[in-house]
Every structure is written in C-alpha cells, then in structure tokens.
A and B are shown apart, each in its own frame.
Chain A
C-alpha cells in the first residue's frame, strides 16, 4: 500500500492564518473605514469626521477617557515600579511566590474580581455611586496592575548586576546608581507597561458599568452609537481611536526597542 503523506510548503501552512486574518481583521477594518466615510445613503462623506471633532459629547468622552486612562497608568506605574524592583532584585528565595500573588488575580474571572471590589468599596464608602471617577480608577488599577508589573519585572531581571556594581565602583552612591543606571535601563519595561495599561483602559467600559460610573468612555461611546444603529458615526469613532492607538504605539515603540538606535533617541 502506498503511504499517503501530506507535504506542505511554509506558505501553505500560513494559509489558515491568512484566511483568518482576512476574514476577521482586514474585512471588518475595511467595513469600518467604509462606514466611517459614508452616510445613510451610502454616499462618500466627511461629515462623520467633522462631527466627531465638533460634537462636544465625543470630544468630552475622548478627554475623559484619556484622563481616566492616564491617571490609571500613572498609579499603576507608581505601585508597580517599586514592587517589580523588589521582586526582581531581592535575594528573597520565595520571590516567585510573591510574583504569583500579584499575577494570580489574572486567573480569576475579571467580572468576578470587579464584583468583589465593588463589595469592598461599598463597605468602605457606604454609597458607592458617590465617587464614580475614583472608583473607576481603583477598578482599572486593580485590573491592569499585573500588566504593568510583568514587563517591569522582566526588565529588572535582565538588568546586569555588573552594571550596578560598576557604577558604585566608580563612586556612585545607591541613589545615583538608581538614577543613572537602573532607571534609564528600565525604560523599555516602563514603556511596554504603559502601552499595556494605557490603551486597554481607554476602552474598558465594563469596569465603569459595574462600578456605576455613568460617564461614557470611548468603549461605551462606540457601543452606544452601534446600539442605536448609527454605524457611520460609531465607525468613525472607532477609526479615530484606532489612529490614536496607532500613534501611541508608534511613539512608544521607539523607546521599547532593545536596539541601540532607540536608546539614542531617548537620550
């Protein structure tokens, strides 16, 4: 009996992925672009674009989202930086266990986590709807903290101990060593942490919903247009958000790259 053997070339093996990409990424994107620049009659128009920037509602939501996500990112960074530093640098043998403690919340379903948080907050604050912004920041921070810790932890682990010793050998005290060596060399970790927190927290409206924050952020704004069957304005907002994310990624990539050209632009 002749043996049947499948032979695939590399490009053939890519096929399923290519099909997937075309169907679920490229096609929807094209649809979004199409809707964003057409009106109800299917005619090409810039109206959706101009209305995005003239509508105080959308601009207000954009600014609120930015403010919320930037606040979240900063708080995450403030908590995560020393935590990751201690986790990676301490000679503590159980550091992996400690790290797991910070990462483990990610294993629990996220609505469950926020529900639990809601209970804690209502005990602390009495009426939970009193501080919607604060609660949202707390919720987001709780949610995204591991994503800030992990890249920082990795970049501290990679930090060559010899460099720290070299700096102190050359006369730097502990503070100077940190400022001149540890900090600049952890910039890639900081940047990738920021990307991991800043962008998702601009659209994660579930946290706000669950914590009774009635203010829209970008995610809920798009949702509201789509649920009102206004595909055109909804698509335009998605597109603008996409461009913002694209620009942020472009900027941060310049810093997070391990290669030296990016380092030079930084300094």
Chain B
C-alpha cells in the first residue's frame, strides 16, 4: 500500500474560498517519512491554507490528500494523526501547563486486546492511565527543556516558553506529521535562532515528519530537507535548500531566496548569453535569440582589475555588512550589487568577472501582455479590467474612420465593430503608471516588483477581476501602491480573433 515511502501526498489540490478567491491551485507534493519540509512564500501565497488543509481545518475544493496512501482530505481534524503548532501558540488559557499538554493524551483511546468471560479475544479501546499520562507529559517537558513547569499557569510564561509548551502539547501525541505554522514568527531574533536549532534537533531525535510554514527564507534554508517555494497559490519550485538557492527556476524564486541581480538577457550563441552589454559563457542551454532572465548572485561576482573584467563600472556605494562588503556598481545604465570580502572605494572604477556556474538563465515568463478584449463604442477596447482608447483602423489595412466613428474599410464598406472580440497585445514597456487614479484606463495595486539592473518589473493586479498587467518601468514604486495604468493608443496592438475571421 505504501510502497513509495511517502507519508503524505497532495494531488492536484485546489482551494477556493467562498468569495471565489483561489488560495491554492494545482498543488502536487510528496513528502517522505521523516522529512523536514518547509513551505516558503510571501504572506498570502497560500502556504498556511495548504497546511490547514493537511491539518483538516480547511477542506480542499478539489484534489486528494493521501496519508500513507489513504485519502484523508474529508476527515475532521480530530481523526487525523497530525498535530499542529499554531503561530500564536493557542494554548488553553483556562488550563495550566500540565493540562494543556495532557489535553490530547486524555482524549486518546488505545486499542487493547483482552479475554472476555468465554475466553474470546476482544479488542476494546481504553484510556491512558493517569500514570502513563504523567510520564508522557514529563517526557515532553523534558524535550522542550521546561521540566518542572507542570503547575504553572500559561499566562505567566514568556513567549518563548509558551511556544515550547505548544510544541510539547503537539509532540506528546506522537503524531505522524507535525505541522508548524510560522511557529517562531512572534519571537525575537535571538530566540528565533535558538529555537530553529532546537527544532532541528528535535526533528532528528523524534523522527517525526515536520511540515513547516514560514515566510523567512533564511529560516527555510537553515532548517529544511526540502523547500517548497509557493507564490500566488502555486508551487514555484521544490528542492533542497542548495538546489533552491543555486538553481532557482524563475525570477520569483531567485528574488525571494537570497539577494540577486536579475537582468534581461539574450542568448547569442551556444552557451553564450548577453546582458549588461557584455557576453558571458553560461551553463544553461537555450535556443539562440531566446529572451531570458539572467540571475547572478552578488557573491558570484568577483572584483578584478578594470582591464581584466568582463564588465567595467564605477563603484557608487560600499556598505560594510560584517562578514562582507556590499558594493553597488554602476555599469552603463545598470546597477549591479556585489558581495565581496574585499573593499572597493566609492568612485573607483573596477572590473567584474562572473564564472559560468554563477550565471543562471531562466526562460522569460512575461514578455508581452496578452488579453482577449472586446471593442466597445467610439474606438475603445475593453480588456483585462479596463477600457482603453485604441486605433481600430489597424484591424483592417487601409481603412479609415468616418465622422461618426464607424470604420470604413479599404473597399468602402462601413463596419460597426461594437462587441467584436479581438486579441490585444501590449508590450511590457508600453504601459505607464500614474498615481492619478483617473489618468489611466484601469486602476490596480502593484503586487510584485523585481529589480532588473536598469529597471523594475512590476505586476499590477486589478481589484475587480484580478487581472494582471506586467510592465517595466525605471522608476521606483512600492508594492501595494494603487496606480492607474496609461497605455498610449498606438501601442495597443489589436488582432481580430481567429474564430471571428472564420465565420
């Protein structure tokens, strides 16, 4: 039954909330027994929702959750051999430490066989004895290093102690999987570092599978056997910490995990890529002329004499960070961040080299915005979530517009294009942002921004139908900013929908 050694498997799990927002989609994951798996992603990415589905607090809209090969996705939380450590501890305030930890044990029934009067073997479920519970609680308190705290009231404990009690309360039940929902989020930095190590040790000692949720990439890298990077409800990448760090699969992962320089590049030859105005050897094989995102970690850029470098630039800032210096260099219009143990003076011209294994290429996810739109009256087109002015004459070569706004084709035919479906394409650098809400055709919030050396790449999402617009812009905005989007009408490329033409 459990031939593949997977303790838990999520198959095509999707969660849609009542208000029709999709929290998790197309989620496929296998976790092996005894693994320490971390769900990593920004807040609101769906990682906690996924954890809650494994715990049983949320039911998936579709998909299966298999525990040891059996579907448990419909079971209530109390019938799953899974325990949770909550972010805000969720200790029972009306019970002392002992009662909190013993809560699960007291509800446990253990199957025991006994002989009835007629000598037949029977199975009955019995409670744990008081002495057994005592022993287990004591052991759990030992594991979390809080011996002798049994009689203490929960409210008298510090945050760190409460967290330990919460962990003890969960592990005392010997769950098959321990779920931890940002358990260290409320602790201060030093405490957090300590607990990270302790949790890791606990994981080794107990041999229980841990599924850990965090938005802290450093925490994920420190503790996990396997990291699942999640964004927007979908898995971006699954891998070991080293794989995730060294071989990020897309710019989101690269940007989220660690520091990165991300550039637009073009493949110019076999294992050759051009970015920042220079050509580099690389290890990723792409087709010639492919547009790619290039990720270079700051520590993979080596400083050298200006003449020996593949790139040459002027140092514009140097910050001492303890172990290394963070040096920002201006190369033409690009900005490059370097981490180096050697210092470089501001204003100095330095050369930079990047070895092939320091260059990571990824296929560009967004090169152009594509929508299906509808022509509305007066030469405007509705697409995404907004209405923009456009030039419909581009749809029919040689056509003109008459005074009333009707289209006259080259053959002199008069056409009413209202309600015609069209394919709309807008280049990422043809969309402008404005904080004047009425200036553009659509208003949305910036949900993501990634620095690309000489410009930022933004994704603006509308509130209404959650349509995304991808754009490049050299100016700095903030995530969450409400902006309106301006698209000049000559930049909106229209094409009649194929289906429409066939009619």
Q: Which residue of A lies closest to B83 (CB)?
A: A169
C-alpha gap A185/B82 in the complex (Å)? 25
Cβ-defined contact, B104 with A260, below 8 A: no
**B contact residues around A176 at 8 Å (CB):** 107
Partner of B108 from the list A169, A171, A173, A184 (CB cut-off 8 Å) is A171
Q: Of residues 46 to 72 in B, which have CB atoms within 8 Å of A's CB atoms? A: 55-57
Cβ-defined contact, A264 with B92, below 8 A: no
Smallest CB–CB gap between A139 and chain B, Å? 36
Please tell me which stretch of A47-55, A148-156, A160-168 contacts chain B, meaning at least 4 of its Cβ atoms lie within 8 angstroms of it: A160-168
Determine whether B155 belongs to the interface, using a CB cutoff of 8 Å to chain A: yes
Cβ-defined contact, B93 with A169, below 8 A: no
**B contact residues around A263 at 8 Å (CB):** 93-94
Determine whether B84 belongs to the interface, using a CB cutoff of 8 Å to chain A: yes
**B contact residues around A171 at 8 Å (CB):** 78, 104, 107-108, 173
Q: Of residues 94 to 138 in B, which have CB atoms within 8 Å of A's CB atoms? A: 94-95, 103-104, 107-108
Determine whether B90 belongs to the interface, using a CB cutoff of 8 Å to chain A: yes
Cβ-defined contact, B153 with A167, below 8 A: no
Determine whether B86 belongs to the interface, using a CB cutoff of 8 Å to chain A: yes
Smallest CB–CB gap between A147 and chain B, Å? 25
Determine whether A267 belongs to the interface, using a CB cutoff of 8 Å to chain B: yes
One digit per residue, 1 when the CB lies within 8 angstroms of any chain B CB and 0 when it does not, for chain A 172-194 equals 11001000110011000000000
Determine whether A123 belongs to the interface, using a CB cutoff of 8 Å to chain B: no
Smallest CB–CB gap between B76 and chain A, Å? 7
Main secondary structure of the interface of A (DSSP, over half): helix
C-alpha gap A170/B140 in the complex (Å)? 15
**B contact residues around A266 at 8 Å (CB):** 94
Cβ-defined contact, B90 with A163, below 8 A: yes
Cβ-defined contact, B169 with A170, below 8 A: yes
Main secondary structure of the interface of B (DSSP, over half): mixed
Cβ-defined contact, A170 with B104, below 8 A: yes
Cβ-defined contact, A165 with B57, below 8 A: yes
Size class of the A contact interface (CB-based, 8 Å) = 20 to 34
Determine whether B88 belongs to the interface, using a CB cutoff of 8 Å to chain A: yes
Determine whether B386 belongs to the interface, using a CB cutoff of 8 Å to chain A: no
**B contact residues around A172 at 8 Å (CB):** 78, 103, 107
**B contact residues around A267 at 8 Å (CB):** 94-95
**B contact residues around A170 at 8 Å (CB):** 78, 83, 103-104, 107, 169-170, 173
C-alpha gap A27/B119 in the complex (Å)? 83
C-alpha gap A167/B55 in the complex (Å)? 12
Partner of A166 from the list B76, B90, B108 (CB cut-off 8 Å) is B90
Cβ-defined contact, B94 with A184, below 8 A: yes
C-alpha gap A181/B88 in the complex (Å)? 17
C-alpha gap A170/B55 in the complex (Å)? 10
C-alpha gap A263/B94 in the complex (Å)? 6
**A contact residues around B84 at 8 Å (CB):** 165-166, 169
Cβ-defined contact, A162 with B173, below 8 A: no
**A contact residues around B82 at 8 Å (CB):** 169
Smallest CB–CB gap between A171 and chain B, Å? 4
Determine whether B269 belongs to the interface, using a CB cutoff of 8 Å to chain A: no
Smallest CB–CB gap between B99 and chain A, Å? 9
Q: Which residue of A lies closest to B94 (CB)?
A: A184
**B contact residues around A260 at 8 Å (CB):** 93, 153, 155-156
Partner of A162 from the list B88, B103, B107, B156 (CB cut-off 8 Å) is B88
Cβ-defined contact, A160 with B77, below 8 A: no
Partner of A173 from the list B57, B78, B83, B153 (CB cut-off 8 Å) is B78
Q: Which residue of B lies closest to A163 (CB)?
A: B90
C-alpha gap A184/B56 in the complex (Å)? 24
**Given that A185-B94, A263-B93 are contacting pairs, would A169 and B155 also be in contact in the complex, using a CB cutoff of 8 Å?**
no
Cβ-defined contact, B90 with A165, below 8 A: yes
**A contact residues around B57 at 8 Å (CB):** 165, 169
Cβ-defined contact, A168 with B86, below 8 A: no
**B contact residues around A184 at 8 Å (CB):** 94
One digit per residue, 1 when the CB lies within 8 angstroms of any chain A CB and 0 when it does not, for chain B 22-59 equals 00000000000000000000000000000000011100
Smallest CB–CB gap between A197 and chain B, Å? 24
**A contact residues around B155 at 8 Å (CB):** 260
C-alpha gap A168/B57 in the complex (Å)? 9
Cβ-defined contact, A169 with B78, below 8 A: yes
Cβ-defined contact, A160 with B90, below 8 A: yes
C-alpha gap A165/B80 in the complex (Å)? 13
Chain B residues with a Cβ under 8 A of chain A: 55-57, 76-78, 82-84, 86, 88, 90-95, 103-104, 107-108, 153, 155-156, 169-170, 173
Chain A residues with a Cβ under 8 A of chain B: 160, 162-163, 165-173, 176, 180-181, 184-185, 260, 263-264, 266-267
State the 4 A-B residue pairs at the shortest beta-carbon distance, nearest first. Answer: A170-B104, A162-B90, A166-B90, A171-B107
In the assembled complex, 28 residue pairs joining A and B whose CB atoms fall closer than 8 Å, in A order, are A162-B86, A162-B88, A163-B90, A163-B93, A165-B55, A165-B57, A166-B86, A166-B91, A166-B92, A169-B55, A169-B56, A169-B57, A169-B78, A170-B83, A170-B103, A170-B104, A170-B107, A170-B169, A171-B173, A172-B103, A172-B107, A173-B78, A181-B92, A185-B94, A260-B153, A264-B153, A267-B94, A267-B95
